[in-house]
A = this chain, B = another copy of it.
Amino acid sequence: MKLYGYFRSSAAFRVRIALNLKKLNYESAFIHLRRGDQRQPGFLDINPQGLVPALEVDDTLLIQSLPIIEYLDETYPEPPLLPSDAKGRARVRALAAMVACDIHPINNLRVLRYLLRPLGQDEAAVETWYNHWIAEGFGALERLLAEGGRTGRFCHGDTPGLADIVLVPQVFNANRYQSLDLTPYPTIVRIYQTCLGIDAFAAAHPDRQPDREP
């Protein structure tokens, strides 16, 4: 397996965590998003969407982080990343989607760049935008996690799974600007810290990738 990723892509970060939790070995190809490698014909021929992550499995290219992780979970069932009951799976997938659909895409690099140009917003407006959507999403997520009887050490019970895999890179992003106060989200912060104490999460951290930059 070969993972096309970028150290700072939080969607690639998710797939790295999943691969580590499953103890799977993989090759890495680094697509430098800030330099625009994803828009070069070489990569567009591989993935027409021009986004990372993408995972090459045999002759097939899998794209989109959540579908990739579902594939890994179906193909390498241990340890499971989803609960064994349908309602539990719906809960975990929903927690993941609250980040993967309702926060992350709105704060993606290409969207932030569009705000700067053509929309002509300044860096301060972009930072406010960024924090706004995290706060919107985290407010609801905190309430669901804090009130949810099924939350444990992790988002769902006492073993890490899909929701944690998606949450951790988003908290990492929230910390990057340093200007978003995470105090209103104690459950999110607690789960984040618990996850980073686990090798599979820690080794997937952007700061520990070969293509990292200051």
Contact = CB atoms under 8 A, between A and B. Distances in A.
Contacts of A136: 110
Give the secondary structure class of A's interface: helix
Contact of A129 (B51, B89, B114, B144): B114
A67 to B, nearest CB: 4
A201 to B, nearest CB: 22
A64 B105 contact: no
Interface string A127-147: 011001000100110011000
A168 to B, nearest CB: 18
A97 B144 contact: no
A93 B66 contact: yes
A74 B86 contact: yes
Shortest 9 CB-CB distances between A and B: which pairs? A67-B93, A49-B140, A64-B94, A64-B97, A71-B90, A48-B143, A67-B94, A105-B105, A48-B140
